[in-house]
Amino acid sequence: MIPASILIISSDSETQSLLQQAIAKKCTCPTSAAAGKSAALNCFDPQTHELIFIDSRTVDPKLLTTLADIQSPLKNHTVVLLSHGRKISLGMEDEIPGIYEILHWPASGQHLASCIDRALERCMLIREKKQLQLDCRCHKIFAKIAGQSKNMQKILDSISTLAHGNETVFITGESGTGKELAARTLHRLSSRSGSPFIRVHCPSLPEESLIDEIFFRASDTALQTTDSHTFLNRARGGTLFLDEIGDISSRIQDKLLEYLKETPEPSYRSANIRLLIATNRDLGKKTESHAFSKELFEILSTRHIHLPPLRRRPEDIPPLAHFLLEKQAYKLKRYGRYISPELMKRLMAHPWEGNIRELENTIIHGLLFSSSQEIGPDDVLLSGPKPLGPCSAALHQDNYRDAKEEALKGFNHIYIGRLLKRSNGNISLAARACGLERQALQQIMKRYDISPVPYRPKTGCDGGYPE
């Protein structure tokens, strides 16, 4: 395993040449040279320059500190300092971080070759360590969408495999199944993980804006030079994620097809991006009605990841629910909470039309409103056949409007009463839990004469609706 590239910082052309020749005998990785501090700062790339040779006679060794401050910590880089007989000791590592070895220069061919061997080996060890750390992080990332079902394990294997390439990946699934999370996981597992991940929500942009931001041609030099904030430029060196492409216009479909079929234009080559694409639509059906390009759909489907809805993998709900509970309990500082067995049965039987997103919102609601460490069925809002009690009296009304009004009154008294009880009469918290604006909830409470006061802790004072 060789470093991505090597940087030589020396103003002496002979030193540069000797090092380049010696390195060429050991590896074939790209080697660049900088003649001084300003040139080094301009060309140093912390993502690719893993091995750095610095000539102490022509460049101040404290340049390392400057590089570390301006660009990136050098703990993941291997730095060799050429001493030229100067009294430089390894004790300088305390003052100048990043020095791996000091090589007295000029060095014999054997000493130079041995030094390069050690430096290359260290680069390999650092790379392996970073990969292990990445793998550990990936377990946490995967835990957000992973489960115990064989289907999900196959999907995780596909994500791991596809992450190491540069090809476009097509991600499909219903809303809330974790398409963006899968895309971010692909990015984090790839060699581009240190570069930007830019998400573009396609339906939110007008056609012309989307074309200008992403699909402008190399000939549009004025646009490229004047607007460095386009999605393409912001994603430079990283990943561009086009989300919800199911409703893009035929014109944009043609642009996307052109990009996927042909050699990318200079604008894409210079930006060096990877494209990830997602939709919650059934594009197969849309191709049948000619609402989506069949050719584009076939090309996208060559590298395809489909995330199944949560209702089709109920065995994944318990581990996912426990993970989301741990995650949100930490954020909300509701430590020690746990899901009761009865609630877990309800969670596994629920249809989850909103998938993982709906499950996470349900967990948050339970954390906010549980009165004890145990989160039970009464602490969450799940649809089901449970009777509404007093609302059933409305069924005996002869007049439809009276029956409807009676049912709404009973429902709102029970539903809002539960919210206010769990929020200790706090209207803002109750509104947030049920997804209404505070003013909207207040209007409903006024209409049905529901007061938050009985639900508030007794403080010796009274009040109306305003908190």
Q: Give the closest residue to 46 by CA, choosing from 194, 198, 228.
A: 194
H or E element, residue 78: strand 78-82
The pLDDT of residue 219 is 37
φ/ψ (deg, to 5) at 31: -125, 125
pLDDT at 87: 55
CB 179, CB 243: distance < 8 Å:
yes
> Look-up: residue for tokens 């003013």?
439
Calpha distance 433→362 (Å, rounded): 9
Q: State the CB neighbour count (10 A cutoff) for residue 355.
A: 21
Question: Furthest-apart CA pair in the chain: how many Å?
Answer: 105
Token pair belonging to 97? 């971080």
Q: What is the pLDDT of residue 393?
A: 46
Cis omega (within 30 of 0) for bond into 351: no
Nearest CA among 393, 394, 370, 391 for reference residue 380: 370
Q: Residue 271: what pLDDT?
A: 62
DSSP string across 137-196: HHHHHHHTT--SSHHHHHHHHHHHHHHTS-S-EEEEE-TTS-HHHHHHHHHHHSTTTTS-
What pLDDT, on a 0 to 100 scale, did the predictor assign at position 458? 57
Rg, C-alpha atoms of the chain? 30
Structure tokens at 213: 């931001």
3-state percent breakdown (helix, strand, coil) of the chain, nearest 5 = 55, 10, 35
Residues 6+ apart with CB under 8 A from 100: 78, 79, 80, 119, 122
Query: Is this structure's pTM higher than 0.75?
Result: no
Both structure tokens of 371:
């009165």
* Structural domains of the chain, ranges and CATH numbers in brackets: 5-130 (3.40.50.2300), 150-308 (3.40.50.300), 312-374 (1.10.8.60), 389-455 (1.10.10)
| pLDDT string in tens for the chain (467-residue length) | 455 688 898 888 899 999 999 998 888 778 888 887 778 777 777 667 888 898 887 666 565 555 554 444 556 788 888 887 655 554 454 555 567 888 888 888 889 999 999 998 888 888 777 666 655 565 565 555 666 788 888 888 899 899 988 899 999 999 888 898 899 889 988 888 888 888 998 988 888 888 877 765 433 443 343 444 577 777 888 899 999 999 899 999 998 888 888 655 444 555 678 999 999 999 999 999 999 999 999 999 999 999 999 999 888 899 889 888 988 888 888 888 899 999 999 999 999 988 988 998 899 989 988 888 899 998 888 854 443 444 444 444 456 677 777 778 877 888 888 888 878 888 988 888 888 888 889 989 988 889 888 887 754 443 333 34
So what's the pLDDT on residue 226?
41
